[in-house]
Amino acid sequence: MKRKPKYDLVLFILLMVLGFLPMLQGWFHFIPTKPLYGVIETAEKPEFELDTYRSGAYAKQAEAYTSEHFGFREPIIRLYNQYLWDFYNKTYAHDVVAGKKGWLYYPQSVRDYYGQELLRWHNSTDEAKEKFDREVKHLNWARNILKENGVDLLVFMAPEKSFIYPEFLPRGEKDTNTFNACDYFAQRFEETGFPYIEMTRWFQQIKDTVDYPLIPQAGAHWIFPAVYAVDSLTRLMGDLKGIELPKIKIGEAYPTRDADHDYDDDLELLLNLAFPMRHQYGYFPRHHVSVEHDSTAVKPKVLFIGNSYFWAMQLFVPFQELFETSEFWFYSSTAYFGEDFSRTADVKQLDFLEKMLSFDYVVWFTTGNQINKGTEGFAERTLLNLCYNNNETIPTYDRIIDSLRHDSLTLATLDTPLSDSNYKEQLWPIALLLVYDHPERYFPEIASDSLPTVRSPRIKEVLAINEIKKDSVWLWNLATYQTVIQNASLEQVLLMEAHNLIDSKPLLRDMPDPEAKRDRVEQLVAAMIEEIKPQTELMERIRTIAKEKGITIEEQTELAARWIVNDKINKGIVVL
């Protein structure tokens, strides 16, 4: 009986440790935990204010913050998710649908199979068909114009898991009053002769001939079968231009997992379970896929614009051996390029037309469920860039934005009040949607059913610059010429040479040596200084600028004279 207090003390200490351990973990994170997967919106730590305390807002913010930052949150959530999965085959992951026998699907893929996805994006099937028909027409027009300039445009539709393995889908009832967008686009492409590849139907045919899942049980994307897609794609590319591309040689494959890539269980990861699921993994190649070249093989330049199915394609196929240059635009938002696609850029900051005309092929690709949204503006953006330049389109967008600025219904949809100084940036996305939805309403030249005759004048400029860049000696000569014209960028000199090429004028490349041109520039600058000195008002401005810069009036006068001479040379007013 005398030892009982010691047991009580031990029990008390143990309870205190267990009670305060989560709090200490939340403060110091002394025990590492596995982070949760998926998109997580974190709540900011609220600052105590009397007004928010009285209104109850502080309590709500503090509760949200605490619920996301208590100790051992991650393992506790994983254990709870494991309990729901093991006992009820249930998950709270918004981007995962649990099928039969542990199979997982994206919810939009399941809805697409049951015919419910189309009407999430369109008010009616008639509206959807009208939009799809218009986009197919615009894709064909864009293809024809690109073809005129040596570029082939084609569409690639990646496989849809729910249509390949419908036997594992959760029970559902098909909507017979709608239609499948992927099938509809494929039909229209066939009718109009637009080049495309649709992988779902082929995968349906071969799924029983292979002893591994073409798309993994716990994943949303393909793994090694992506190699077959690249092989089909390169064969189609060769047929379109009548050339031979390097051939892909596929070796044997064996079942294993690649610890560096989670392509076979990306959906499982979103479940955030405590223990891994038991499932059949896809095959990985025993050897790297090789590319065979012969004397007739041509390595083209290819721009891919599409979704995440691309990553497995470039993972298993050595693109640097297959293509001279390849670039990937992820959902037209981020551009990946360079070795192993390790460099990135914002697509919005790129010259869209210049990029389109710099490749031999442009491949726009999507997945069956995503094409319910159509091309999401890609067809219209490409067509408008090919038909018009910014000087022709910007005024139209400005008029639309000015109209939206005074439209009460539009203003009511904005997340934040319209800013007087930033309203164009706020309303620009809405203006784009209006134009992309019905471009013929704003640009009548493309309102007919026949191929538009209008062409952007920049097409000739871009093609001329591309031709110049192919010749390293020519490019070097222009870089040397740039040193003659101070304050001129290489891009400006390239544009000057492009117009010389287009207008059949003497080329800068063929002009006398740089020293002679430099002497001529210095003569022009000296003469311009003498022209400036008698101009009282201009000299007063030069005196003010010189004082601000901390330089002499003579130095600023020379800078002004040199700028005027350079401007005249750039505009072609003065020819060296």
Is 86 within a domain? no
**C-alpha distance from residue 525 to each of 21, 175, 553 (Å):** 78, 77, 16
Q: Which residue has the tokens 């998950």?
A: 91
- Statement: residue 67 has pLDDT above 70: no
DSSP sequence for 271-301: H--SSPPP-PPPEEESS--EEE--TTB---E
230-239, 412-421, 428-437: which has the minimum mean pLDDT? 412-421
308 and 351 part of one domain: yes
- Between vectors from CA 325 to CA 323 and to CA 330, what angle results, nearest 5°? 105
206 and 326 part of one domain: yes
Count the neighbouring beta carbons within 10 Å of the beta carbon of residue 569. 22
56 and 129 part of one domain: no
132 and 195 part of one domain: yes
Is 278 within a domain? yes
CA gyration radius for the chain? 31
- Statement: residue 18 has pLDDT above 80: no
Kindly give, in sequence order, each residue whose CB lies less than 8 Å from that of residue 358, ignoring residues fewer than 6 positions away. Answer: 301, 303, 462, 466
Q: Which residue has the tokens 């000199």?
A: 493
160 and 191 part of one domain: yes
Q: Residue 64 — very low, low, confident or very high, per pLDDT cuts 50/70/90?
A: low
Q: Are 336 and 310 in contact (CB under 8 A)?
A: no
3-class SS at 15?
A: helix
Tokens representing 337 are: 């390029």
Residue 25 CA to residue 22 CA, distance in Å, equals: 5
- Return left, alpha or beta for 118; rule: phi > 0 is left, psi -120 to 50 is alpha, else beta: alpha
Q: In this structure, which amino acid lies at residue 545?
A: I
215 and 291 part of one domain: yes
Is 482 within a domain? yes
Q: In this structure, which amino acid lies at residue 253?
A: A
Residue 109 CA to residue 164 CA, distance in Å, equals: 11
Q: In this structure, which amino acid lies at residue 355?
A: K
Q: What is the share, in percent, of the chain residues with pLDDT greater than 70?
A: 81
Residue 513 CA to residue 501 CA, distance in Å, equals: 19
Give residue-wise pLDDT tens across range 242-274: 999 999 998 877 666 554 455 678 888 888 888
Last residue of a domain, one of 347, 366, 383: 383
Is 249 within a domain? yes
3-class SS at 473?
A: helix
Mean pLDDT, residues 88-109: 89
Residue 388 CA to residue 3 CA, distance in Å, equals: 92
DSSP sequence for 331-385: TTTEEEESGGG-EEEEGGGS-HHHHHTTSSEEEEEEETTGGGGTTTTHHHHHHHH
Last residue of a domain, one of 76, 108, 124: 76
List the beta bridge partners of residue 366.
Answer: 157
Tokens representing 114 are: 């049951």
176 and 320 part of one domain: yes
> What's the pTM?
0.80
Is 92 within a domain? no
Q: Between these two residues, 487 and 142, which has the higher pLDDT value?
A: 142
The whole domain housing 572 covers: 515-576
- Statement: residue 11 has pLDDT above 80: no
Tokens representing 357 are: 């005309």
Q: What is the share, in percent, of the chain residues with pLDDT greater than 90?
A: 45
Q: What is the pLDDT of residue 259?
A: 46
* Dihedral sign, Cα of residue 401, residue 403, residue 405, residue 408: negative
Tokens representing 448 are: 């007919």
Q: In this structure, which amino acid lies at residue 99?
A: G
66 and 143 part of one domain: no
Give residue-wise pLDDT tens across range 360-382: 999 999 999 999 999 999 999 99
Q: Which residue has the tokens 């693109």?
A: 319
Residue 64 CA to residue 207 CA, distance in Å, equals: 47
Is 95 within a domain? no
Residue 178 CA to residue 225 CA, distance in Å, equals: 31
Tokens representing 266 are: 């990306």
DSSP sequence for 394-405: HHHHHHHHHHHH
Q: Residue 29 — very low, low, confident or very high, per pLDDT cuts 50/70/90?
A: low
Last residue of a domain, one of 475, 495, 511: 511
464 and 340 part of one domain: no
Is 93 within a domain? no
Q: In this structure, which amino acid lies at residue 214?
A: L
* Dihedral sign, Cα of residue 323, residue 325, residue 328, residue 332: negative
Q: In this structure, which amino acid lies at residue 36?
A: L
Give me the half-sphere count of Cα atoms (radius 13 Å) on the Cβ side of residue 549. 14
176 and 27 part of one domain: no
Q: Which has the closest alpha carbon to 138: 395, 432, 386?
A: 386
541 and 462 part of one domain: no
Q: In this structure, which amino acid lies at residue 29?
A: H
Q: What is the pLDDT of residue 66?
A: 59
- Statement: residue 1 has pLDDT above 60: no
* Mean pLDDT of the chain, nearest integer: 85
494 and 521 part of one domain: no
- Statement: residue 443 has pLDDT above 50: yes
Counted domains in the chain: 5
**C-alpha distance from residue 478 to each of 79, 500, 508, 563 (Å):** 66, 13, 7, 19
Mean pLDDT, residues 293-321: 92
Is 85 within a domain? no
Mean pLDDT, residues 382-404: 92
Q: In this structure, which amino acid lies at residue 530?
A: E
Q: Are 216 and 264 in contact (CB under 8 A)?
A: yes
Q: What is the pLDDT of residue 319?
A: 94
Q: Residue 327 — very low, low, confident or very high, per pLDDT cuts 50/70/90?
A: very high
- Statement: residue 508 has pLDDT above 50: yes
Mean pLDDT, residues 56-81: 68
Q: What is the pLDDT of residue 575?
A: 59
Q: Between these two residues, 515 and 337, which has the higher pLDDT value?
A: 337
61-70, 97-106, 335-344, 447-456: which has the minimum mean pLDDT? 61-70
Kindly give, in sequence order, each residue whose CB lies less than 8 Å from that of residue 476, ignoring residues fewer than 6 positions away. Answer: none
Helix or strand holding residue 457 (H, E) = none
